[in-house]
Every structure is written in structure tokens, then in C-alpha cells.
Structure 1
């Protein structure tokens, strides 16, 4: 009987090719999943794939939109701006007899969160060192906060979709321990002050430099970036490491664009309000060169804005903390400060936050300071969002007079203990100031507040060229604040006076 059975199988196969072989499954892009948050008050793109020419209908809330799949099977519709909604509603996608229903969708504010391990550090990890985080876990019954974690492996080329379906997790005491702590405290404050749902897409990956998160197209902004891309295309990891301003590329995860390709490119059309970023450690560690990081930071911001089709995308990033882990840390902090010149961007200073080693546990202040930037700049709240940022210096005889942005409220000497707000200590001296002259030797200096300026002098310098503040790997007692209680960034008034020679391989 076996030959007869085989004959029947052949006949069946010839009768059913269209139904079995050619009917593609209509699907929605992998970022769309139950419990997600859609961005409010902006057009929202919904996209996916079907057979060429198939009509696809998308229904959400009171809107219906239609599109046809193109020659590659891709389809896309745009929903008109949606009002905030805390009511979980379904999104339905239909094509012929096929339907996809995504349940429990809220509408609110959506933010990307990315970077390396200090962004990836979870609420659970923080709670093992901070009692306050333990209490926050117990109180985290916050169903309007939703997180999606993107874990995709690196890719040499941009991907059109995620490798596996994303999941969106509702914030509860049982789930919050797995969330990025920085992103959670950012989301928690936004939710508390705005009263709207908050969605976070976390694409961070520990142990990686900035290069793999920058789109390849953005490596045309500076000679170092151009050369890094050339060497990467040749597979020359050692060449990238030896390049002045390059990076120690330990494996392909570190190469230009590799994580952008797999974690951001597949969801670049997903509408978000903005992005928060915490990274830099792997660009200034042992035998790692922090020079030119400012150009990389600008390339990241401009590259994301172009890829996400939003030239005004807000991007707020975190300056490395005071608990340094390598000789390059003070120079990386300076590079981050120099990258604050792009519009719709801002930097959170953390040099005053207690903690040891590379992962200081206080991510509460970090997340809340990031939220201050967003609340002030994107949601119109009249609040302080930045500490003093060096503007310019005047040399008057043997003195340097320093002027600052974000000093309108005045300057003060203060001390911050743990999670408490900084407390003014008017009898204390400003610490961590140094001065240099043409000898090229940095000398300890005294600094005092005069109005909204700081006057710096040194007994060893009669003709000063420049001043720097908090310029050590682990600066202690960084006590310069504005009267809004926000810390001053480390700075050098003339970066051209700095000399740094990283111990690169020969």
C-alpha cells in the first residue's frame, strides 16, 4: 500500500499549493504586544507584513486605518494623535480571514532607556543595598507603568523586526525588581507628576561602549568616527583599539552599529516622546581612550533622531558618577559636558552621589534628576533641572573669575548625605579646585563664591591660564551647588590645557 499512499500525497500537494505554500501569515511588528503603551498626542505608526497587495485594516479606540502590503509585503498605517487613556483597550488588525488582537493597551508617554550596565542595573539589585528601594518595591502597585526589555543579540546589518516578540510588563511589586532602576525612578516620577501612563523600552546592554548603539550612517561626523567604521568594516579590532580616540573592541558586540541594528532599528518607527541614556564606562576603562567621546555622543543623538524620524527628539544623558574606575574617567566626564551643546538634550550630573566602584547603588536620584529635565523641557513644569554648568572665565591678575549657566538662583557650598537633599554648609570651603599656568603643572587652588560667580586663586600660580573642578578619578566632597540643590558638573575652563595619554597597546 505504501506506493499508493505516496501517490495520494503527491496529488494532494499539487492540488493545494496556493493554500499551503503561498498564503503568508499576516503579522504585526514584534514591538506590539499585550499591555503596551502607545504615545499620546502624536501620530502613531502601526506596521507589519502580509502578502503583497493584501489589504490590512487597523482598529484602535475610535480610529480605523487601512493600507495595502507593498512588493516586499510590508504595510504601515498611521493613527491620528491619541488622547491619554488609562483604560486598557484592544488594537485589532485584520487582513482577509486573518486577525491579530493586542489587548490592554494604554495611551500615555513612552521613552527609550538605553546605555550600559548602570542603566541595566535593576531595582532588585539596588534594593540589596538601599532600604528605600525595598520600600519602593512593596509600593510598586503601579499598573499604568509598563516596561519592555529588548534583549536582541548584535547584528551586522539593520534588522526589519525584532528577533522575537517583545513583552510588555505591568509594574507590580512582583515585577518591578526586574526593571532598570534608573528608568523605573524616571518613570515613577513622571507618572506621579503627570498622572498619565508611562511606557519604557529598555535596550541597554552591560559592558558595551557607545559605538554599537550609534547608527552606521552617523559615523561620518568626525575623522575618528570615520576611521573606526573603516577599521570595523575590515574586521580590524586591534586597529580600532590603537586608534587615538578609538575604543577597545573586545568582540563584535562592540563594533559600530551592531546593537542599534538589532535593538533600535527594528522599532525605530515606534512613536516615543524621547530617550534617556547612561553609558561611558566602557569608553574610559583600562586601556580605553575617552578622547573624542563628545563627537560620539553627538553622533548617537543625531543618528537616533534621523533614524526615528524626529529631528527634535529629546535625549537626556547621565554624566559618569564620582566613583571612578579608571584613569580616563575625569576626561570622559569632560567629554560628556562638552557634548551638551545640542538642542533638546541635557546632562544629569551625579558626581555628588554616594557610592563605591563602577555601579553606585543610588539610582533613585539619577532617575529623578533625569525626570526633572523631561518635566521642565517637555512637559512645561517650572522647576530647576540642571546644576551649575561652566560658561566662561575672566582672568583678572592672579585671579580667575568663573561664570556659570543655571546659577540664576545663586551658588552655594553644600553637602549631600545618601538620599537626602543637599544641605548648605556656609562655613565649608569649596573643594576640588585646581589652577594651571604656562608651566603646565596643575596646582591646588582656593575658590569662593562671589554673587553668581566663583573667584579662584592659587598661592602657586600668579598668571593663571585655566581652572578645573572635580578632576580626579574619584573626586571626594564635590560640594558646589546652585541654590536649587543641584550639583555643578566637573569642568575645565580650557580643555586645551589638559594632557591625557591613555595606556594603549603598541
Structure 2
């Protein structure tokens, strides 16, 4: 009898890495790397075979012809007991496959495997937020059975332990190799999707509905996590701007966000390992995945890095370092990185007084990081709650970037993003990207949200004009016009923590918070 994906104690001389389990997705269009351990000197054969007798989708397989043949690879176990093989790249397929790993008389069977795209999901509580607490959870139950959508959704040590010390057993689980609990891939259904990240679920579901490409989601989000925990310590040390973040003890390190250290000190009476420690989730969850081929990364994070000005101003460069780190370690220099901009919140009950500055720094990440995109969600923020429960809108807006940039769909990926502000003859004109089909107000009322000083709102209007993006020129494009007697230094939009700006494009997607310099318009 073949062993199932997680080998038993009788097969200690043959094992496969824990990421490989039944119901998983293997990355399409890239060589398929599979690795494990065995008896030194032994031969290991890995076979990938389509199961022609069954399909998880009523539609034809995306690549039935390619799926009809078996592919295999052979390796010899090294002296350190490790083995590794690469199978040839395969096209996407909705047809279930079996992976069989054979060495002497022992074998491991991994079944119901699809070929599609793997997205790694990181972030803090708004990414972790589960479907069972999401606004549209009850409605979503009806369509939760998504055979092309697969989750790898481990829980982690110390989850939901606040304002108290970790127990001895939790402290022992803080070691990176024990931090994430053992789990296996699951097919999306009304049971498995309950604890899955709601943002990630809606993201994957939207891609499948539009492309029929199988999607695998690996969820490594951690409530409260600062960005630093997702970045390797070596990467931090290698950058003189952020080397101080790697200095121990991190619990008293002035380069770490204050709130993050407060939480760490509440939990730790011994040791330094903690979900918020710089590099911890990187070591525990991301580093073990680097040999795996993936499609890209999505992230919803920032609240823990937005409470002090120094942390706000560094966030764009810190994100750039993180993405460079991922791309180097995954050996994918064009690895897509799509992220969610913080929403909006009042600063009366929450320390969100810098959120507008932070959102603008997030907007600039798209200029720093190639192959990136940002979902704007300021219109769904709550005045006194950092956890808006409408994650459906967030996940679907995030998916727009992927559908446009990675799946080639003719879909508007974003709300208006500012291109340029120019002043001439008593008028300030602001042009936007992602507004080629026109601008509007979300509520049909006069425009709100514009300011010349970041404090006092000014009247603005939508007007047709001439827009140039690269070499393309549109004479009928719409822009924002503001009457003012003299040239201002900057133009601001939604420049406060809790926003009420109402500028959208024809897709009803909101405009990002921004502060941009005003230029004197060259006379034609």
C-alpha cells in the first residue's frame, strides 16, 4: 500500500517536505521542484500523472493534451539524507494529478493535485481576518465549494494571546521550526473556508471566476505583525538604513515600532522569540518555502508600522527591501507584489493620526517596486474600528491588479492615481491614471477631499482636458480643476486619517490619498 502524503514512522527513510500534501496546487509554467529526505545513496523517483478518470471542473481542462502524459524525474539521496528533483514545467490544468514518490519498496502518494498558481499571503490582522467573521460570510456559504481553490492555512503559536505572558508550552513553540502548526492543503468548502483569510479567499475566488486557473493560497498572516517580521535578518543587516532593526534585544530596540515592543514585553518573560521579532515569520514560514515555485505575493499590513513618524517615513524603503529579499530568495526577479493600502480611521479612539501620511507612503511603493499594485480601500474604513469586516471588496479590488497585470484581462486595476498637477492662469489641473473613461463622485454630490494646504478644503470640479501618458495622448480625458489665485506648492487629497473624499473613476473605484508637488504648466 502506498503511504499518504505525510509519511509514517515506518518510512523514516523516505519523506517529502511538509508543503507537499493531498489537494495542493503545483505552480504552472515553471519547473516543479519537489524535495525531501531519504536513505543516503538510495534512488528516488518522482512521477506526476494526470487522473484521466476524473475532473474537478465541468469545463474542459485548461490543458488536457499536456495533462494526458506522465512526467518523472530521478535523483540520488545525498550524504546529508536530502534529495531533490525538478519535473518539467506544466501548463495549468483543472484535472487532478497524482504525485508518486518511490524509493526501493517505499513510496508516498500525493493525490488530487492541480496545476495552477500559488500566491503567498502575508500581513497582520486585516489579512488574517477569517471568513467566519466577514461581513458577507453567510451569503458566501452558498458558493464556498470551490474545487479549484485550495488553502494552506496553518495556525501559529501564541495566536490571540494578549496582555499576558505566554505559557511555557507556547514559549517552546516559539522556535521557528515549531512556530507554525502542522497542517495540510484543503479544498475550499463551507467548512474549510471558515478560518481562511477572507481577503485571500475573495482574491483567489475572483481570479478563478475570471480565468478558471486553479489557485493555491498559502496564508502566513499574523495578527499585529510588523513588516520587520517578514524580512530576513541578513537582509536587514545588509542595508545600512535598517541594520539597527536587527540589533538585540529587539524588545528594547528604538528602531522597532513602540507598540510592537509593548506587545512583545507583555508576552515574553523569557527568551526573545516572538511573532513580532524581526525576521521571525521569515525564518518560520517564508524561508522553508523558498525552494518552491510560486506565482506571487499579496500583503495587507501597515497598522503596526504607522504609529510613529519615523516608522511612517521608512515604510516605503522597508517594503522595497522586503520585496527585493523575496525576489532574490525565490529566484524570481519579476515576482508580482500586490498589497492593500490602509483604510481610514478616526484618531479619537485609535492612534491613527498619521494614517494619511502612511497611505501616501504606501502609494509611492508602486513607484519604488516594479510589478506591484495597490488596492485602495479608504472608502470602507470605520471611524472607531481598525477591522472593517467588508473583506469581499478588499479581496476583489486586490484581484483586479492580478487579473490586469498577470492574467492579461482588460480590466481597470485601480481607482484614479495622480499623475501630475500643473498650474497656469489661475487654474490648477490634476491628471490621473486609471481614469481614461472618466471621473465621477461616488455619491453624486460635489467633489470633496481636495486641499491646497493639507488642512482647509477647497472647491474642485471635473473637467475635460488633454491627458498624455507616455506617447499616448487623449484630448477628451477628464481631470480635476481648482481655481486659485497663485501657484500652491502642493495639492492634497484625503489628507486626514478618516477620509470623506468622493472622487472615483467610472468603475466606482476610489482615488488614493495623495500629496503631490504642483508644477508651473509649460505654455504650448
TM range (shorter): 0.7 to 0.9
Aligned to 2:124: 116
Q: How does 1:141-152 map to 2 (within 5 A)?
A: 141-152=145-156
> Which residue, 363, 368, 372 being the options, matches 2:396?
368
Aligned to 2:456: 443
Aligned to 1:404: 432
Judged with a 3 Å threshold, the aligned counterparts in structure 2 of structure 1 residues 241 and 220 are, in CA distance, closer, same or farther, namely closer
User: What SS class does the counterpart of residue 512 from structure 2 fall into?
Assistant: coil
Instruction: For 2:156 and 2:102, locate their aligned partners in 1 and report how far apart those are by CA, in whole Å.
Output: 28
- Residue 56 of structure 1 pairs with residue 82 of structure 2: no
> Which residue, 285, 293, 302 being the options, matches 2:324?
302
- Residue 266 of structure 1 pairs with residue 270 of structure 2: no
Between the two proteins, the alignment pairs up a number of residues equal to 448
Q: How does 1:411-490 map to 2 (within 5 A)?
A: 411-415=439-443, 425=444, 428-436=445-453, 442-451=455-464, 452-457=478-483, 462-476=486-500, 478-490=501-513
CA contact (8 A) 1:140 1:171 kept: yes
- Residue 323 of structure 1 pairs with residue 345 of structure 2: yes
Aligned to 1:312: 334
Per mean C-alpha deviation after superposition, the further-off stretch among 478-487 and 361-370 is: 478-487
Judged with a 3 Å threshold, the aligned counterparts in structure 2 of structure 1 residues 241 and 45 are, in CA distance, closer, same or farther, namely closer
TM-score scaled by length of structure 2: 0.79
Aligned to 2:93: 85
CA contact (8 A) 2:431 2:480 kept: yes
Aligned to 1:239: 254
Extract unaligned runs of 5+ from structure 1: 1-22, 416-424, 496-506
- Residue 344 of structure 1 pairs with residue 371 of structure 2: yes
Map Cα deviations across residues 409-446 of structure 1 (whole Å, 9 max, x no partner).
2222223xxxxxxxxx1xx221121112xxxx743222
> Which residue, 106, 112, 135 being the options, matches 2:114?
106
Map Cα deviations across residues 288-345 of structure 1 (whole Å, 9 max, x no partner).
8322101111112111111111111111000001235411211211110111122211
> How far does residue 162 in structure 1 lie from its aligned partner after superposition?
8.3
CA contact (8 A) 2:345 2:386 kept: yes
Instruction: For 2:88 and 2:479, locate their aligned partners in 1 and report how far apart those are by CA, in whole Å.
Output: 49
Instruction: For 1:55 and 1:274, locate their aligned partners in 2 and report how far apart those are by CA, in whole Å.
Output: 33
Instruction: For 1:444 and 1:34, locate their aligned partners in 2 and report how far apart those are by CA, in whole Å.
Output: 57
> How far does residue 455 in structure 1 lie from its aligned partner after superposition?
2.0
CA contact (8 A) 1:277 1:317 kept: yes
CA contact (8 A) 2:157 2:174 kept: no
User: What SS class does the counterpart of residue 139 from structure 2 fall into?
Assistant: helix
TM-score scaled by length of structure 1: 0.82
> Which residue, 493, 512, 516 being the options, matches 1:493?
516
> How far does residue 89 in structure 1 lie from its aligned partner after superposition?
2.7
Instruction: For 1:345 and 1:227, locate their aligned partners in 2 and report how far apart those are by CA, in whole Å.
Output: 27
User: What SS class does the counterpart of residue 205 from structure 1 fall into?
Assistant: coil
> How far does residue 249 in structure 1 lie from its aligned partner after superposition?
6.7
Judged with a 3 Å threshold, the aligned counterparts in structure 2 of structure 1 residues 134 and 156 are, in CA distance, closer, same or farther, namely closer
CA contact (8 A) 1:35 1:103 kept: yes
Map Cα deviations across residues 128-173 of structure 1 (whole Å, 9 max, x no partner).
xx3x4311112212122110113355999976x9865431111112
User: What SS class does the counterpart of residue 222 from structure 2 fall into?
Assistant: coil
User: What SS class does the counterpart of residue 294 from structure 1 fall into?
Assistant: helix
User: What SS class does the counterpart of residue 72 from structure 1 fall into?
Assistant: coil
> How far does residue 450 in structure 1 lie from its aligned partner after superposition?
2.0
CA contact (8 A) 2:120 2:220 kept: yes
Map Cα deviations across residues 166-220 of structure 1 (whole Å, 9 max, x no partner).
3111111222222111111111111111123221111101011111001233326
Aligned to 2:216: 199
Instruction: For 2:463 and 2:254, locate their aligned partners in 1 and report how far apart those are by CA, in whole Å.
Output: 49
Map Cα deviations across residues 45-89 of structure 1 (whole Å, 9 max, x no partner).
101122333221111110111112233222211111123333333
CA contact (8 A) 1:31 1:162 kept: no
Instruction: For 1:393 and 1:96, locate their aligned partners in 2 and report how far apart those are by CA, in whole Å.
Output: 70
> Which residue, 287, 299, 306 being the options, matches 1:284?
306
Instruction: For 2:212 and 2:257, locate their aligned partners in 1 and report how far apart those are by CA, in whole Å.
Output: 50
Aligned to 2:52: none
User: What SS class does the counterpart of residue 428 from structure 2 fall into?
Assistant: strand
Aligned to 2:32: 44
Instruction: For 2:333 and 2:111, locate their aligned partners in 1 and report how far apart those are by CA, in whole Å.
Output: 31
Instruction: For 2:249 and 2:393, locate their aligned partners in 1 and report how far apart those are by CA, in whole Å.
Output: 43
Instruction: For 1:40 and 1:122, locate their aligned partners in 2 and report how far apart those are by CA, in whole Å.
Output: 28
CA contact (8 A) 1:248 1:288 kept: no
> How far does residue 261 in structure 1 lie from its aligned partner after superposition?
0.7
Aligned to 2:80: 72
User: What SS class does the counterpart of residue 103 from structure 1 fall into?
Assistant: strand
CA contact (8 A) 1:209 1:280 kept: yes
Instruction: For 2:446 and 2:337, locate their aligned partners in 1 and report how far apart those are by CA, in whole Å.
Output: 35
Judged with a 3 Å threshold, the aligned counterparts in structure 2 of structure 1 residues 190 and 378 are, in CA distance, closer, same or farther, namely same
Aligned to 1:17: none
Greater Rg by CA: 1
Aligned to 2:380: 353
Judged with a 3 Å threshold, the aligned counterparts in structure 2 of structure 1 residues 330 and 381 are, in CA distance, closer, same or farther, namely same
